[in-house]
Amino acid sequence: MLNQIRAMQAEFSKSETKVASAVLSDPQQYVKATMHQLALESGVSEPTIVRFCRTLKLSGYREFRLRLAQDLASQIHYQHSQVDANDSATQLVDKVISSAISSLSKVRSQLAAEVIDAAISVISTCARIEIYGVGGAGIVVNDAQLKFARLGLNSQPYSDIYLQRVAAGLLEADTCVLAISNSGRSKDLLESIKIARQSGATIISITASASPLAALSDLHLAIDLDEEEDQLAPIKARIAHMAVVDTLAIGLAVRSKPAYLERLRQASLVLEDRFETRNRRQ
């Protein structure tokens, strides 16, 4: 709604403009204010406040304040803290899920759209994609492979460091490697990527900004999570990385229609008879 107010400047009368600028100057303050207070501080009468609300196509001040609260609420970031042994199960659920949500919010704001675009076009045109990661990232690697395979892409996951190196040595110029790592500092992974580079593969990485891995990449999807080493850190990283993979996969699916979409549809049709009564994909 704040954006709407900014956009509608032209349509406001003189006093309504006063109200608008008061609200825009410090929205937080007016979430708790009564109509009287807002009228006073913007130097207009109370009916003018009501008229201002009506100009915004709202029923009145009550709705205005509600909308303002909602507007600001979506900006408030999810706060969370360490889980400890005394937490109730409710608190446990809340902290774990909230921390996951907060890292997804970070991804949403950090992910560079142009790099996503570039990555999608590289992946959709390369002859083969291999996906590398070690440790906890192994899960993300397998997840990525599953998604890419469903799109009919020629993809291979390697979360074992020895297999990775062997595979990296065999790559060719029209292939590409998706490297996933939170720190971007795993020696083993870096070694594999160096080999892959020498083989001429295009390197796309999902990792932290100032990392050695980022430096070795042709395309770098930057994900920077908190530095702090809490118990939830690995979970946050994994959720964030998976979200990036999801974005790539969905992007590939919709960009390259109808080929991929058709393959997706078929992949689920094939499984139909393997479900009880109602049909829903696993």
Whether the upstream peptide bond of residue 258 has omega within 30° of 0, thus cis, is yes
Phi/psi for 179 (5° steps) reads: -105, 130
Please, which of residues 105-124 interact with a second copy by CB under 8 A?
105, 107-108, 111, 113-114, 116-117, 120
Q: Which does 46 bind (CB under 5 to 8 A by kind): DNA, a second copy, none?
A: DNA
Q: What's the CA gap between 271 and 263, in Å, rounded?
A: 13
Please list every residue from 218 through 257 that binds a second copy, using CB under 8 A.
229, 231-235, 237-239, 242-243, 246-247, 250-251, 253-255, 257
Task: Show contacts with a second copy in window 27-66 (CB under 8 A).
Answer: 31-32, 65-66
192 vs 50, 120, 122, 134, 141, CA distance in Å? 65, 22, 20, 11, 15
What is the closest distance, in whole angstroms, from the C-beta atom of residue 172 to a second copy in the complex?
Answer: 28
Task: Answer with the entry of DNA, a second copy, none that 13 interacts with (C-beta below 5 to 8 A by kind).
Answer: DNA
> With contact defined as beta carbons under 8 Å apart, do 133 and 179 qualify?
yes
- Which stretch in 11-19, 47-55, 91-99, 193-201 sits in contact with a second copy by CB under 8 A? 91-99
Q: Is 129 in the site for a second copy (CB under 8 A)?
A: no
* Cβ-defined contacts of 87-95 (< 8 Å, 24+): 95/232
Among 24, 92, 127, 215, binds a second copy (CB under 8 A): 92
CA distances (Å), origin 110, targets 42, 114, 243: 37, 12, 12
Nearer to DNA, 50 or 115 (CB): 50
State how far the Cα of 182 lies from the Cα of 85, in Å rounded to an integer: 27
**Which CB sits closer to a second copy, 40 or 96?**
96
79 interacts with a second copy by CB under 8 A: no
Nearer to DNA, 10 or 85 (CB): 10
Least distance CB 80 / DNA (angstroms): 30
Footprint of a second copy on residues 170-199 (CB under 8 A)? 181-183, 185-188, 190
- Find the binding residues for a second copy in span 146-175 (CB under 8 A): 146
Q: How far apart are CA 154 and CA 131, in angstroms?
A: 11
* Piece of the chain touching a second copy by CB under 8 A; list 49-57, 84-92, 124-132, 163-171: 84-92
CB of 66 to DNA, least distance (A): 10
Q: What is the CA radius of gyration of the chain?
A: 25
CA distance 216 to 242: 21
Whether 146 contacts 129, CB under 8 Å: no
The whole-angstrom separation of Cα 199 and Cα 208 is: 24
Task: Give the separation between CA 50 and CA 149, rounded to whole angstroms.
Answer: 57
CA distance 81 to 91: 10
* Residues at the contact surface with DNA, assessed by CB under 7 A: 13-16, 34-36, 43-51, 53, 59-63, 65
Q: How far is the CB of 116 from a second copy (least distance, A)?
A: 5
CB of 48 to DNA, least distance (A): 4
Closest to 195 (Cα-Cα) out of 216, 220, 221:
216
Contact with a second copy (CB under 8 A) among 41, 94, 160, 224? 94
Asked if 203 is part of the footprint of a second copy (rule: CB under 8 A), the reply reads no
